[in-house]
Protein backbone atom coordinates (compact mmCIF):
# COMPACT_ATOMS: atom_id res chain seq x y z
CA UNK A 1 0.00 0.00 0.00
CA UNK A 2 1.33 3.44 -0.93
CA UNK A 3 2.09 5.57 2.12
CA UNK A 4 0.87 9.16 2.38
CA UNK A 5 1.84 11.20 5.41
CA UNK A 6 -0.94 12.50 7.63
CA UNK A 7 -2.05 16.02 6.71
CA UNK A 8 -2.30 16.74 10.45
CA UNK A 9 1.32 15.83 11.23
CA UNK A 10 2.27 19.36 12.28
CA UNK A 11 -0.97 20.33 14.02
CA UNK A 12 0.29 19.48 17.51
CA UNK A 13 4.03 19.25 16.89
CA UNK A 14 6.35 21.40 18.97
CA UNK A 15 9.82 22.40 17.79
CA UNK A 16 12.78 23.90 19.65
CA UNK A 17 15.68 25.84 18.18
CA UNK A 18 19.02 24.06 18.55
CA UNK A 19 21.40 26.38 20.33
CA UNK A 20 22.28 29.47 18.30
CA UNK A 21 21.60 27.78 14.98
CA UNK A 22 18.73 28.33 12.58
CA UNK A 23 17.62 24.71 12.88
CA UNK A 24 14.65 23.58 14.92
CA UNK A 25 14.24 20.01 16.13
CA UNK A 26 11.01 18.38 17.31
CA UNK A 27 10.87 18.21 21.11
CA UNK A 28 10.71 14.43 20.73
CA UNK A 29 12.96 12.53 18.31
CA UNK A 30 12.89 8.85 17.44
CA UNK A 31 16.05 6.97 18.31
CA UNK A 32 16.77 3.73 16.47
CA UNK A 33 19.38 2.53 18.97
CA UNK A 34 17.31 -0.52 19.91
CA UNK A 35 14.37 -2.36 18.30
CA UNK A 36 15.57 -1.71 14.75
CA UNK A 37 17.96 -4.56 14.12
CA UNK A 38 17.63 -7.78 12.16
CA UNK A 39 16.17 -9.45 15.25
CA UNK A 40 12.93 -7.47 14.93
CA UNK A 41 10.06 -7.64 12.49
CA UNK A 42 10.54 -5.18 9.62
CA UNK A 43 6.86 -4.36 9.22
CA UNK A 44 6.65 -3.42 12.92
CA UNK A 45 9.73 -1.23 12.52
CA UNK A 46 8.25 0.42 9.44
CA UNK A 47 4.97 1.02 11.24
CA UNK A 48 6.71 2.75 14.15
CA UNK A 49 8.78 5.01 11.87
CA UNK A 50 5.79 6.04 9.76
CA UNK A 51 3.59 6.63 12.80
CA UNK A 52 6.30 8.81 14.31
CA UNK A 53 6.40 10.95 11.17
CA UNK A 54 2.60 11.18 11.12
CA UNK A 55 2.78 12.54 14.68
CA UNK A 56 5.27 15.29 13.87
CA UNK A 57 8.56 13.55 14.61
CA UNK A 58 10.85 14.70 11.83
CA UNK A 59 14.19 13.80 13.44
CA UNK A 60 15.46 10.21 13.29
CA UNK A 61 18.61 9.38 15.23
CA UNK A 62 20.91 6.66 13.88
CA UNK A 63 24.49 5.46 14.09
CA UNK A 64 26.70 2.94 12.33
CA UNK A 65 26.70 0.93 15.57
CA UNK A 66 22.94 0.48 15.88
CA UNK A 67 21.52 -2.97 15.19
CA UNK A 68 22.13 -5.82 15.73
CA UNK A 69 24.23 -6.42 13.76
CA UNK A 70 26.10 -3.15 13.41
CA UNK A 71 24.69 -0.91 10.62
CA UNK A 72 21.37 -2.79 10.55
CA UNK A 73 19.29 0.16 11.81
CA UNK A 74 20.52 2.43 9.02
CA UNK A 75 19.63 -0.24 6.47
CA UNK A 76 16.15 -0.55 7.99
CA UNK A 77 15.62 3.18 7.87
CA UNK A 78 16.99 3.29 4.33
CA UNK A 79 14.39 0.75 3.27
CA UNK A 80 11.57 2.76 4.82
CA UNK A 81 12.93 5.94 3.30
CA UNK A 82 13.15 4.40 -0.16
CA UNK A 83 9.77 2.72 0.06
CA UNK A 84 7.68 5.33 1.87
CA UNK A 85 9.36 8.52 3.03
CA UNK A 86 11.53 9.49 0.07
CA UNK A 87 9.18 12.16 -1.21
CA UNK A 88 9.24 13.80 2.23
CA UNK A 89 13.04 13.90 2.44
CA UNK A 90 13.05 17.69 2.67
CA UNK A 91 10.94 17.45 5.85
CA UNK A 92 13.13 14.85 7.52
CA UNK A 93 16.29 15.19 9.62
CA UNK A 94 18.54 12.13 9.52
CA UNK A 95 21.35 11.91 12.06
CA UNK A 96 24.22 9.42 11.89
CA UNK A 97 27.26 8.81 14.07
CA UNK A 98 30.64 7.10 13.91
CA UNK A 99 33.49 6.50 16.31
CA UNK A 100 32.23 3.83 18.70
CA UNK A 101 33.79 0.43 17.92
CA UNK A 102 32.08 -1.67 15.26
CA UNK A 103 34.94 -4.09 14.65
CA UNK A 104 38.47 -5.12 15.58
CA UNK A 105 40.17 -3.01 12.91
CA UNK A 106 41.72 0.24 14.12
CA UNK A 107 39.81 1.93 11.27
CA UNK A 108 36.45 0.81 12.68
CA UNK A 109 36.72 2.82 15.87
CA UNK A 110 37.90 6.16 17.19
CA UNK A 111 37.90 9.71 15.94
CA UNK A 112 40.39 9.65 13.08
CA UNK A 113 39.60 11.30 9.79
CA UNK A 114 39.63 7.92 8.04
CA UNK A 115 37.27 6.28 10.53
CA UNK A 116 34.70 9.06 10.48
CA UNK A 117 34.62 9.89 6.78
CA UNK A 118 34.77 6.29 5.54
CA UNK A 119 31.97 5.35 7.92
CA UNK A 120 29.86 8.24 6.70
CA UNK A 121 30.22 7.08 3.09
CA UNK A 122 28.96 3.62 4.05
CA UNK A 123 26.07 5.11 6.03
CA UNK A 124 25.03 7.18 3.03
CA UNK A 125 25.06 4.04 0.90
CA UNK A 126 22.99 2.07 3.42
CA UNK A 127 20.51 4.91 3.86
CA UNK A 128 20.25 5.51 0.12
CA UNK A 129 20.81 9.27 0.43
CA UNK A 130 23.47 11.72 -0.70
CA UNK A 131 23.69 13.46 2.67
CA UNK A 132 22.62 13.21 6.29
CA UNK A 133 21.46 16.26 8.18
CA UNK A 134 23.59 15.79 11.28
CA UNK A 135 26.84 13.81 11.56
CA UNK A 136 28.31 13.08 14.98
CA UNK A 137 31.51 12.00 16.58
CA UNK A 138 29.86 9.26 18.65
CA UNK A 139 32.34 9.36 21.53
CA UNK A 140 35.59 11.12 22.39
CA UNK A 141 38.84 9.54 21.24
CA UNK A 142 41.61 10.71 23.56
CA UNK A 143 44.31 9.20 21.34
CA UNK A 144 43.36 11.34 18.33
CA UNK A 145 43.86 15.12 18.31
CA UNK A 146 40.52 16.84 18.76
CA UNK A 147 41.41 19.08 15.83
CA UNK A 148 41.50 16.03 13.55
CA UNK A 149 38.14 14.73 14.75
CA UNK A 150 36.33 18.05 14.45
CA UNK A 151 38.19 18.79 11.22
CA UNK A 152 36.84 15.55 9.74
CA UNK A 153 33.30 16.54 10.68
CA UNK A 154 33.84 19.96 9.12
CA UNK A 155 35.11 18.27 5.93
CA UNK A 156 31.87 16.31 5.73
CA UNK A 157 29.99 19.61 5.68
CA UNK A 158 32.31 21.07 3.05
CA UNK A 159 31.83 17.96 0.90
CA UNK A 160 28.06 18.30 1.08
CA UNK A 161 27.65 15.00 2.94
CA UNK A 162 26.06 16.58 6.01
CA UNK A 163 24.49 19.91 6.88
CA UNK A 164 25.46 20.05 10.56
CA UNK A 165 27.89 18.42 12.97
CA UNK A 166 27.55 17.15 16.52
CA UNK A 167 29.32 15.29 19.31
CA UNK A 168 28.13 12.67 21.78
CA UNK A 169 29.24 11.62 25.25
CA UNK A 170 31.92 14.32 25.60
CA UNK A 171 32.78 15.97 28.91
CA UNK A 172 31.73 19.59 29.31
CA UNK A 173 35.34 20.79 28.98
CA UNK A 174 36.07 18.76 25.85
CA UNK A 175 32.72 19.78 24.36
CA UNK A 176 33.68 23.43 24.79
CA UNK A 177 37.04 22.82 23.13
CA UNK A 178 35.23 21.09 20.26
CA UNK A 179 32.86 24.04 19.89
CA UNK A 180 35.78 26.46 19.72
CA UNK A 181 37.49 24.41 17.01
CA UNK A 182 34.27 23.98 15.04
CA UNK A 183 33.56 27.71 15.12
CA UNK A 184 37.08 28.45 13.91
CA UNK A 185 36.53 26.07 10.99
CA UNK A 186 33.26 27.78 10.08
CA UNK A 187 31.05 24.82 10.99
CA UNK A 188 29.46 25.61 14.36
CA UNK A 189 28.71 22.69 16.65
CA UNK A 190 24.97 22.09 16.37
CA UNK A 191 24.30 19.54 19.11
CA UNK A 192 25.85 17.59 21.95
CA UNK A 193 24.06 14.33 22.67
CA UNK A 194 24.24 13.21 26.30
CA UNK A 195 22.57 10.78 28.65
CA UNK A 196 20.10 12.60 30.89
CA UNK A 197 17.32 11.40 33.16
CA UNK A 198 15.89 11.77 36.65
CA UNK A 199 18.36 9.07 37.75
CA UNK A 200 21.33 10.46 35.79
CA UNK A 201 21.93 14.17 36.28
CA UNK A 202 25.55 14.21 35.23
CA UNK A 203 24.95 16.94 32.64
CA UNK A 204 23.63 19.20 35.39
CA UNK A 205 26.38 18.40 37.87
CA UNK A 206 29.38 18.69 35.52
CA UNK A 207 28.32 21.99 33.97
CA UNK A 208 27.47 20.46 30.61
CA UNK A 209 24.13 22.24 30.26
CA UNK A 210 25.69 25.58 31.19
CA UNK A 211 28.56 25.06 28.76
CA UNK A 212 26.21 24.14 25.93
CA UNK A 213 24.15 27.27 26.54
CA UNK A 214 27.27 29.47 26.53
CA UNK A 215 28.63 27.86 23.36
CA UNK A 216 25.29 27.98 21.56
CA UNK A 217 25.10 24.20 21.25
CA UNK A 218 21.80 22.35 21.52
CA UNK A 219 21.47 19.36 23.84
CA UNK A 220 19.99 16.05 22.70
CA UNK A 221 18.98 13.99 25.73
CA UNK A 222 19.26 10.24 25.27
CA UNK A 223 18.05 7.51 27.66
CA UNK A 224 15.55 9.89 29.32
CA UNK A 225 13.75 6.81 30.69
CA UNK A 226 17.00 5.36 32.06
CA UNK A 227 16.86 2.22 29.93
CA UNK A 228 13.30 1.51 31.04
CA UNK A 229 13.92 2.04 34.75
CA UNK A 230 11.59 5.05 34.66
CA UNK A 231 8.64 2.97 33.49
CA UNK A 232 6.32 0.60 35.34
CA UNK A 233 8.13 -2.47 34.01
CA UNK A 234 10.20 -3.21 37.12
CA UNK A 235 8.16 -1.58 39.88
CA UNK A 236 7.19 -4.93 41.42
CA UNK A 237 10.75 -6.21 41.33
CA UNK A 238 10.07 -8.63 38.49
CA UNK A 239 12.32 -8.86 35.44
CA UNK A 240 10.29 -9.84 32.35
CA UNK A 241 12.07 -12.22 29.99
CA UNK A 242 11.78 -9.75 27.11
CA UNK A 243 13.01 -6.73 29.10
CA UNK A 244 16.35 -4.97 28.80
CA UNK A 245 17.29 -6.02 32.35
CA UNK A 246 17.08 -9.63 31.17
CA UNK A 247 19.17 -9.27 28.02
CA UNK A 248 20.93 -5.89 27.72
CA UNK A 249 24.58 -5.12 28.34
CA UNK A 250 23.46 -1.79 29.83
CA UNK A 251 21.16 -3.23 32.50
CA UNK A 252 20.88 -6.45 34.48
CA UNK A 253 18.49 -8.16 36.87
CA UNK A 254 20.86 -7.26 39.71
CA UNK A 255 20.14 -3.58 39.05
CA UNK A 256 16.52 -4.03 40.15
CA UNK A 257 17.46 -3.48 43.77
CA UNK A 258 15.33 -2.61 46.79
CA UNK A 259 16.59 0.99 46.63
CA UNK A 260 15.60 1.26 42.98
CA UNK A 261 12.14 -0.25 43.61
CA UNK A 262 11.50 2.16 46.49
CA UNK A 263 12.64 5.25 44.58
CA UNK A 264 10.87 4.37 41.34
CA UNK A 265 7.73 3.46 43.29
CA UNK A 266 7.52 6.88 44.89
CA UNK A 267 8.19 8.58 41.56
CA UNK A 268 5.36 6.54 40.09
CA UNK A 269 3.04 7.79 42.84
CA UNK A 270 4.02 11.39 41.99
CA UNK A 271 3.15 10.71 38.37
CA UNK A 272 -0.18 9.15 39.32
CA UNK A 273 -1.04 12.17 41.44
CA UNK A 274 -0.67 14.26 38.29
CA UNK A 275 -2.77 11.86 36.24
CA UNK A 276 0.14 10.64 34.11
CA UNK A 277 2.44 7.63 33.91
CA UNK A 278 6.00 7.40 35.19
CA UNK A 279 7.58 7.57 31.69
CA UNK A 280 5.46 10.61 30.86
CA UNK A 281 6.64 12.30 34.06
CA UNK A 282 10.26 11.42 33.30
CA UNK A 283 10.08 12.84 29.77
CA UNK A 284 8.38 16.00 30.92
CA UNK A 285 11.08 16.40 33.58
CA UNK A 286 13.91 16.22 31.01
CA UNK A 287 12.20 18.71 28.71
CA UNK A 288 11.72 21.24 31.52
CA UNK A 289 15.28 22.47 30.89
CA UNK A 290 15.49 25.10 28.11
CA UNK A 291 18.97 23.86 27.15
CA UNK A 292 17.47 20.55 26.02
CA UNK A 293 16.53 20.79 22.35
CA UNK A 294 15.01 17.34 22.03
CA UNK A 295 14.49 14.13 23.98
CA UNK A 296 15.35 10.90 22.18
CA UNK A 297 12.77 8.20 22.69
CA UNK A 298 12.76 4.64 21.50
CA UNK A 299 9.69 2.54 20.82
CA UNK A 300 8.88 -1.13 20.41
CA UNK A 301 5.31 -0.41 19.27
CA UNK A 302 3.18 2.44 17.99
CA UNK A 303 1.13 2.29 21.21
CA UNK A 304 4.24 2.90 23.31
CA UNK A 305 5.29 5.71 20.99
CA UNK A 306 1.91 7.45 21.23
CA UNK A 307 1.82 7.07 25.00
CA UNK A 308 5.22 8.69 25.47
CA UNK A 309 4.49 11.54 23.07
CA UNK A 310 1.55 12.51 25.31
CA UNK A 311 4.02 13.46 28.08
CA UNK A 312 3.71 17.18 27.47
CA UNK A 313 -0.09 17.16 27.38
CA UNK A 314 -0.07 17.52 31.17
CA UNK A 315 0.34 20.70 33.24
CA UNK A 316 3.88 21.99 33.70
CA UNK A 317 5.77 20.65 36.66
CA UNK A 318 5.46 22.92 39.68
CA UNK A 319 8.20 23.75 42.16
CA UNK A 320 6.50 21.36 44.59
CA UNK A 321 6.49 18.60 41.96
CA UNK A 322 10.18 19.14 41.28
CA UNK A 323 11.04 19.08 44.98
CA UNK A 324 9.21 15.79 45.43
CA UNK A 325 10.94 14.32 42.37
CA UNK A 326 14.32 15.40 43.76
CA UNK A 327 13.57 13.54 46.99
CA UNK A 328 13.30 10.17 45.24
CA UNK A 329 14.92 10.73 41.86
CA UNK A 330 18.40 10.32 43.28
CA UNK A 331 21.33 10.81 40.92
CA UNK A 332 23.33 7.64 40.49
CA UNK A 333 20.45 5.20 40.85
CA UNK A 334 21.51 2.25 38.68
CA UNK A 335 24.02 4.49 36.93
CA UNK A 336 26.57 2.69 34.83
CA UNK A 337 29.57 3.86 32.89
CA UNK A 338 28.77 4.75 29.28
CA UNK A 339 29.82 2.12 26.77
Q: Which residue ranges make up each domain of the chain?
A: 15-225+287-316
Asked if residues 143 and 107 have their Cβ atoms less than 8 Å apart, the reply is no
What's the whole-number mean pLDDT along residues 232-251? 73
Segment 290-294 mean pLDDT: 98
Q: Give the model's confidence band at 252: pLDDT under 50 very low, under 70 low, under 90 confident, else very high.
A: confident
| pTM of the predicted model as reported, rounded to 2 decimal places | 0.95
What value does the mean pLDDT of the chain take? Answer: 95
For residue 197, the 8-state DSSP code is B
Q: Would you list the DSSP string of 226-272?
A: GGGTTSSTTTTS---TTSHHHH-TT--GGGS-HHHHHHHHHHHHHHH
332 Cβ partners below 8 Å, 6+ apart? 199, 200
Query: What integer pLDDT is reported at residue 253 of this predicted model?
Result: 80
pLDDT at 106 over 80: yes
CATH architecture of the domain formed by 15-225+287-316? Alpha-Beta Barrel (3.20)
339 pLDDT band (50/70/90 cuts)? very low
Among 255, 257, 233, residue whose Cα is nearest residue 243 = 233
- pLDDT of 156 reads 98
Q: How confident is the model at residue 105 (pLDDT cuts 50, 70, 90)?
A: very high
pLDDT tier at 248, thresholds 50, 70, 90: low
* 58-65 mean pLDDT: 98
Q: Average of pLDDT values for 310-318?
A: 97
The arithmetic mean of pLDDT across residues 114-120, rounded, is: 98
Q: Is the pLDDT of residue 242 over 80?
A: no
- Rounded Cα distance, 36 and 221, in Å: 19
Q: Strands 189-195, 162-168: parallel, antiparallel or unpaired by DSSP?
A: parallel
Amino acid sequence: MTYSAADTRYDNATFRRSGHSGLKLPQFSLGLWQNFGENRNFETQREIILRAFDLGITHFDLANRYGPPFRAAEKVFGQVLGRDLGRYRDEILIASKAGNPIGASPYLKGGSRKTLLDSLDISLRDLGVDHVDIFYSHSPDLETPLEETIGALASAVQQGKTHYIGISNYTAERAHDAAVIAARLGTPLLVHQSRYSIFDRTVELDGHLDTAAQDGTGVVAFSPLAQGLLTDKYLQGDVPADSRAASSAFLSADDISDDYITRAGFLNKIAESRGQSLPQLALQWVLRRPEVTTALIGASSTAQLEHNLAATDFPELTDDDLARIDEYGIHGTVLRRKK
